[in-house]
Amino acid sequence: MTVPTQLLTLNGKQFSIEADPNMPVLWVIRDIIGLTGTKYGCGSGLCGACTIHVDGKPMRGCLTSLKQVTNKQVTTIEGVEAQALKDNWAKHNVPQCGYCQAGQIMSAAALLATTPAPTEQQIDQAMSGNICRCGTYPRIKSAIKATAAQTTAAVNSERTVEV
Amino acid sequence: MTTFTAVENISRRDVLKLFGATGGGLALGATGLAWSPMALAQDKTAILNLFIAIGEDNKVYLTCHRSEMGQGIRTGIPQVLADELEADWDNIVVIQGLADKRYGSQNTDGSRSIRKHFTRMRQMGSTARTMLEQAAANKWKVSVDDVFAKASYVHHKHSDKKLSFGELAVEASKLPTPKVESLTLKSANEFNLIGKSKTIVDMQSMLDGKAKYGYDINIDGMVYASIARPPVLGSDVASFDDTNARKVAGVIEVIKLDVPKGAPLFQPLGGIAVIATNTWSAEQGRKALNVTWTDSVNDSHDSDQYLSELVGKVQQSGKVIRQLGNPVTDWPKDTTVNATYTVPYLTHAMMEPPVATAHVTSEGCELWASSQTPQSTQQNVAGALGLTEDKVKVNVTLLGGGFGRKSKPDYSVEAAVLSKKLNKPVKVSWTREDEIQNGYYHAISAQFYQAKLADNNQVEALLARTGFPSISSTFAEGVEYPSDGELDLGFSDVPLAVENIQLEAVKAKAHTRIGWMRSVCNIQHAFGIGSFVDELAVKAGKPCLQMWREMLGKPRLETFTDQGFKYGNYGEELADHPVDVGRYHHLLDVIEAKMANAPKAGKNQGWGFAIHRSFVSYVAVATLVEVTDGQLKVIKSIAAIDAGLVVNPDRVISQTEGAIIFGLSLAMMGEISYKNGQVQQSNFHDYPLLRLPQCPDIEVIVVESKANPAGVGEPGVPPVAPSLTNAIFAATGKRYRDLPLNKHLKV
SS3 at position B382 = helix
Does B307 score more than 80 pLDDT?
Answer: yes
Cβ-Cβ contacts under 8 Å, B398 against chain A: 97-99
Rounded CA separation B107/B112 (Å)? 9
Instruction: Look at residues A75, A96, A127 and tell me which one is the last residue of a structural domain.
Output: A75
B614 in contact with A, Cβ within 8 Å: no
Of residues B485 and B16, more confidence is placed in B485
What confidence tier does B8 reach under pLDDT thresholds 50, 70, 90?
very low
Residue B463: the pLDDT is 98
Cβ-Cβ contacts under 8 Å, B283 against chain A: 43
What confidence tier does A155 reach under pLDDT thresholds 50, 70, 90?
confident
Residue A163 resides in a domain: no
Is residue B601 a contact partner of residue B635, using CB atoms and an 8 Å limit?
A: no
Does B304 score more than 50 pLDDT?
Answer: yes
Domains, chain B, with CATH or none: 12-205 (3.30.365.10), 214-296+354-429 (3.30.365.10), 303-347+440-743 (3.30.365.10)
* A-contacting residues in B 359-418 (Cβ below 8 Å): 398-403
A108 and A49, same domain (yes or no): no
List the CATH number of the domain containing A91.
Answer: 1.10.150.120
Rounded CA separation B725/B534 (Å)? 10
Give the percent of chain B with pLDDT over 90. Answer: 93
Q: Of the candidates B534, B473, B521, which has an alpha carbon nearest to the alpha carbon of residue B301? A: B473
Burial A96-109 (b: 16+ CB within 10 A, else e): bbbbbbbbbbbbbb
Residue A156: the pLDDT is 79
Rounded CA separation B686/B352 (Å)? 18
Residue A129 resides in a domain: yes
What confidence tier does B9 reach under pLDDT thresholds 50, 70, 90?
very low
B692 vs A42, A124, A133: nearest CB: A124
A87 and A59, same domain (yes or no): no
Residue A154: the pLDDT is 83
Cβ-Cβ contacts under 8 Å, A134 against chain B: 70, 351, 401, 658, 661
Q: Where are the alpha helices (DSSP H) in B336-481?
A: 374-385, 410-422, 432-437
Residue A32 resides in a domain: yes
The total number of structural domains that make up chain A: 2
A103 and A54, same domain (yes or no): no
List the CATH number of the domain containing A66.
Answer: 3.10.20.30
Mean pLDDT of the region B106-132: 96
A90 and A67, same domain (yes or no): no
pLDDT digits (tens, 9 = 90+) for B650-670: 999 999 999 999 999 999 999
Residue B17: the pLDDT is 38
Average per-residue pLDDT for chain B: 94
**Beta strand pairing call for B459-467 and B500-505:** parallel
Rounded CA separation B642/B644 (Å)? 6
A96 and A66, same domain (yes or no): no
B349 in contact with A, Cβ within 8 Å: yes
**E strands, B281-430, in order:** 290-293, 319-324, 336-343, 355-361, 364-369, 392-396, 426-429
Does B27 score more than 80 pLDDT?
Answer: no
What confidence tier does B35 reach under pLDDT thresholds 50, 70, 90?
low
Rounded CA separation B81/B48 (Å)? 12
pLDDT digits (tens, 9 = 90+) for B487-542: 999 999 999 999 999 999 999 999 999 999 999 999 999 999 999 999 999 999 99
Residue B165: the pLDDT is 97
Query: 3-state SS of chain B: helix, strand, coil percent to 5?
Result: 35, 25, 45
pLDDT digits (tens, 9 = 90+) for A26-47: 999 999 999 999 999 999 999 9
Does B363 score more than 70 pLDDT?
Answer: yes
* Helices and strands in chain A: count of H runs, count of E runs: 5, 5
pLDDT digits (tens, 9 = 90+) for A79-110: 999 999 999 999 999 999 999 999 999 999 99
What confidence tier does B18 reach under pLDDT thresholds 50, 70, 90?
very low
Residue A160: the pLDDT is 64
CB within 8 Å of A154: residues ≥ 6 apart: none
Cβ-Cβ contacts under 8 Å, A96 against chain B: 70-72, 654-655, 658
A137 in contact with B, Cβ within 8 Å: yes
Residue A162 resides in a domain: no
Mean pLDDT of the region B555-573: 96
Residue B485: the pLDDT is 97
- Asked if ipTM goes beyond 0.85, one says yes
Is residue B377 a contact partner of residue B490, using CB atoms and an 8 Å limit?
A: no
Rounded CA separation B344/B297 (Å)? 21
Question: Which class for B151: exposed (0-12), middle (13-18), buried (19 or more C-beta within 10 A)?
Answer: middle
Nearest-neighbour CA in chain B from A154: distance (Å): 24
Q: Which domain holds residue A45?
A: 5-75
Alpha-carbon torsion (B663, B667, B669, B673), positive or negative: positive
Does B301 score more than 60 pLDDT?
Answer: yes
Does B403 score more than 50 pLDDT?
Answer: yes
Query: Between chain A and chain B, how many beta carbons pairs sit less than 8 Å apart?
Result: 186
A112 and A149, same domain (yes or no): yes
Does B388 score more than 70 pLDDT?
Answer: yes
Burial B277-287 (b: 16+ CB within 10 A, else e): bbbbbbbbbbe
Instruction: Look at residues A75, A105, A123 and tell me which one is the last residue of a structural domain.
Output: A75
Of residues B549 and A161, more confidence is placed in B549
Does B30 score more than 70 pLDDT?
Answer: no
pLDDT digits (tens, 9 = 90+) for A17-31: 999 999 999 999 999
A50 and A103, same domain (yes or no): no
B689 vs A35, A105, A133: nearest CB: A133
Q: Of the candidates B431, B521, B507, B420, which has an alpha carbon nearest to the alpha carbon of residue B471? A: B521
CB within 8 Å of A121: residues ≥ 6 apart: none
A101 and A139, same domain (yes or no): yes
Please indicate whether, in this complex, the C-beta atoms of A139 and B248 are within 8 angstroms of each other: no
Of residues B44 and A114, more confidence is placed in A114
pLDDT digits (tens, 9 = 90+) for A55-87: 999 999 999 999 999 989 999 999 999 999 999
Residue A29 resides in a domain: yes
Does B419 score more than 90 pLDDT?
Answer: yes
Give the percent of chain B with pLDDT over 70. Answer: 94
Please indicate whether, in this complex, the C-beta atoms of A135 and B349 are within 8 angstroms of each other: no
What confidence tier does A1 reach under pLDDT thresholds 50, 70, 90?
low
Residue B31: the pLDDT is 35
Instruction: Look at residues A75, A109, A130 and tell me which one is the last residue of a structural domain.
Output: A75
pLDDT digits (tens, 9 = 90+) for B582-607: 999 999 999 999 999 999 999 999 99
A97 and A68, same domain (yes or no): no
Residue A91: the pLDDT is 98
Question: Which class for B58: exposed (0-12), middle (13-18), buried (19 or more C-beta within 10 A)?
Answer: middle
Mean pLDDT of the region B419-441: 98
Nearest-neighbour CA in chain A from B650: distance (Å): 8
Q: Mean pLDDT check: name the lowest of B32-41, B317-326, B634-643.
A: B32-41
Does B4 score more than 50 pLDDT?
Answer: no
A53 in contact with B, Cβ within 8 Å: no
A71 and A120, same domain (yes or no): no
Rounded CA separation B583/B480 (Å)? 36
Please indicate whether, in this complex, the C-beta atoms of B658 and A136 are within 8 angstroms of each other: yes
Is residue B190 a contact partner of residue B248, using CB atoms and an 8 Å limit?
A: no
What confidence tier does B36 reach under pLDDT thresholds 50, 70, 90?
low
Mean pLDDT of the region B109-126: 96
A56 and A97, same domain (yes or no): no
A102 and A144, same domain (yes or no): yes
What confidence tier does B42 reach under pLDDT thresholds 50, 70, 90?
very low
What confidence tier does B32 reach under pLDDT thresholds 50, 70, 90?
very low
Does B21 score more than 50 pLDDT?
Answer: no
Does A152 score more than 90 pLDDT?
Answer: no
Residue B20: the pLDDT is 35
pLDDT digits (tens, 9 = 90+) for B450-498: 999 999 999 999 999 999 999 999 999 999 999 999 999 999 999 999 9
Does A126 score more than 70 pLDDT?
Answer: yes
Residue B11: the pLDDT is 35
Task: Quickly list DSSP for B643-700.
Answer: -SS-S-HHHHHHHHHHHHHHHHHHHHH--B-EETTEE---STTTS----GGGPPEEEE
